[in-house]
Amino acid sequence: MTTFALVDGNNFYVSCERVFNPKLEGKPVVVLSNNDGCAVARSLEVKALGVKMGTPWFQMKDLARQHGIIALSSNYTLYADLSNRMMSVLRMFSPDQEVYSIDECFLKLDGFGFDLSGYGQIIRQRVHRWTGIPVCVGIGSSKTLAKLANHVAKKRPQWNGVCDLGSLSESELHALMASIEVGEVWGVGRKIQEKLAAMQIHTVLDLKQADAGQIRRSLSVVVERTVMELRGISCLALEEMAPAKQQIMCSRSFGAPVMLLTDLREAVTSHASRAAEKLRRQASVAGAIHVFICTSPFREEDPQYSQGLTIPLPDATSDTKKLVKAVLWGLRQIYRPGYRYAKAGVMLMNLSPAATQQNSLFADEGADEESARLMQTMDLINRKRGKDSLFIASAGVRKHWQMKQGNKSPCYTTDWGELAVVRC
């Protein structure tokens, strides 16, 4: 029988911060989004205070003073590294793994002829011991059931962090499903939940027992597939290899309004460089690049302007120099002085595998080979010596436009100058 486990890091960003700062244990902690805007991770202590995901920090400040909430800036470099370590540990527990997001992955447990609840506890203990990250494990005969089991393991302490739905009798499983709102099902968002409510479907059990054909006619084949998954019929296969992206976008809001073209040049150069690295990582080339700039729609007192431009490339490429050259030309076409710009971004489009690239009749093959070697060398140095050890000069050095990170923790695992220090 097909069996999946979903392993999910608890309050992942907060847990990452606590790994290297144990003083945060038991204290209310929030991790804020770019420019310290709103809550993207909350400790259990903060959730108990009623703070919702996405709550702006300025709305929490009175509550923070009252309850001593500690606010930290996002440290994505640290989170990504600890995620990679966590996924490496989990890879030991199954030959089939799908990394679903930065803090969760599916493991396939087909044919494991032993107590899966006990195996889940071993997974939890190993991950926590080797990485410091607490996780919960949900086990089911489909990916949707594994997701649901993980929700139960996380929200109901009596399960001790591991829920194996396969260990329940049919009556026990139905009682559990009847106690969970349908909105907790993977893929059921607010709009779908409202439509299901109009059909008198309010709980997970209601959805499982609904007429699949009617669900398909009233909603979609995707929701019909969810019904089948809740019945234990696996419709979603494990994706061991993430499919190549069809578009790659890099953008950031500025830490402070930007008015000068020179600052915008630095920003779009940095974004284009980062996008090019991702493009080469998936062995693709881009046939077009889009650049955009915009003011903040939330500053109604400021003049508003938003514009973008797509630049077709004569030959598909992954060369950072060529992509930056195109994006800077595009920026000059859309830039207008006198505006307080809040955001800029770059999107790579018309992506195709580099191995099947068809050059134009007059392409210089020697120059293309030299470009490929240069980019390979640049990527290798940046991997070994740290991000932006080598960069395009127009990306600038001081970067006054960078996002605000007023309370960011050190990059304990990726920067030699910020390694944790142990004093005996």
Tell me, yes or no, whether 12 and 110 share the same domain. yes
pLDDT of 367 strictly over 90? no
Question: What is the SS3 assignment for 249-286?
Answer: EEEEEEEEEECCHHHHHHHHHHHHHHHHHHHHHCCEEE
Tell me, yes or no, whether 290 and 176 share the same domain. no
Tell me, yes or no, whether 75 and 103 share the same domain. yes
Per-residue confidence (pLDDT) for residue 384, from 0 to 100: 84
pLDDT (tens digit, 9 = 90+) per residue, 304-348? Answer: 999 999 999 988 999 999 999 999 999 999 999 999 999 999 999
Residue 414 lies in a domain: no
Residue 422 lies in a domain: no
Tell me, yes or no, whether 162 and 183 share the same domain. no
Tell me, yes or no, whether 118 and 185 share the same domain. no
Residue 264 lies in a domain: yes
Residue 416 lies in a domain: no
* H/E element, 287: strand 284-295
pLDDT (tens digit, 9 = 90+) per residue, 368-404? Answer: 788 889 999 999 998 888 788 888 998 888 777 776 7
CATH number at residue 151: 3.30.70.270
Residue 347 lies in a domain: yes
Please report, rounded to a whole number, the percentage of residues in the chain having pLDDT higher than 70. Answer: 96
416 phi, psi to nearest 5 deg = -60, -30
Sign of the CA dihedral running 243, 245, 250, 251: negative
Tell me, yes or no, whether 16 and 121 share the same domain. yes
406 phi, psi to nearest 5 deg = -70, -20
pLDDT of 169 strictly over 70? yes
List C-alpha distances in Å: 85 to 23, 78, 103, 320: 22, 11, 11, 29
pLDDT (tens digit, 9 = 90+) per residue, 85-123? Answer: 999 999 999 999 999 999 999 999 998 878 999 999 999
Quote the tokens at residue 34: 């770019």
The boundaries of the domain holding residue 307 are 248-395
Mean confidence (pLDDT) of the chain = 91
Last residue of a domain, one of 166, 182, 206: 166
Last residue of a domain, one of 146, 166, 186: 166
Q: Contact at 8 Å (CB) between 399 and 266? A: yes
Tell me, yes or no, whether 172 and 152 share the same domain. no
pLDDT of 243 strictly over 90? no
pLDDT confidence band for 363 (50 / 70 / 90): low
Tell me, yes or no, whether 49 and 193 share the same domain. no
Q: Of the given ranges (4-13, 82-91, 312-321, 412-421), which has the lowest mean pLDDT?
A: 412-421
CATH number at residue 218: 1.10.150.20
The mean pLDDT of 7-23, rounded to a whole number, is 95
Tell me, yes or no, whether 162 and 174 share the same domain. no
Per-residue confidence (pLDDT) for residue 135, from 0 to 100: 97
Q: Is 243 helix (H, G, I), strand (E, B) or coil?
A: coil
Tell me, yes or no, whether 373 and 258 share the same domain. yes
Residue 190 lies in a domain: yes
pLDDT (tens digit, 9 = 90+) per residue, 52-92? Answer: 999 999 899 899 999 999 999 999 889 999 999 999 999 99
Q: Which of 136, 110, 141 is nearest to 12 (CA)?
A: 136
Number of structural domains found in the chain: 3
CATH number at residue 335: 3.30.1490.100
Tell me, yes or no, whether 122 and 82 share the same domain. yes
Per-residue confidence (pLDDT) for residue 364, from 0 to 100: 65
| Strand pairing category for 135-140 and 162-164 | parallel
What pTM did the predictor assign? Answer: 0.79
Tell me, yes or no, whether 259 and 179 share the same domain. no
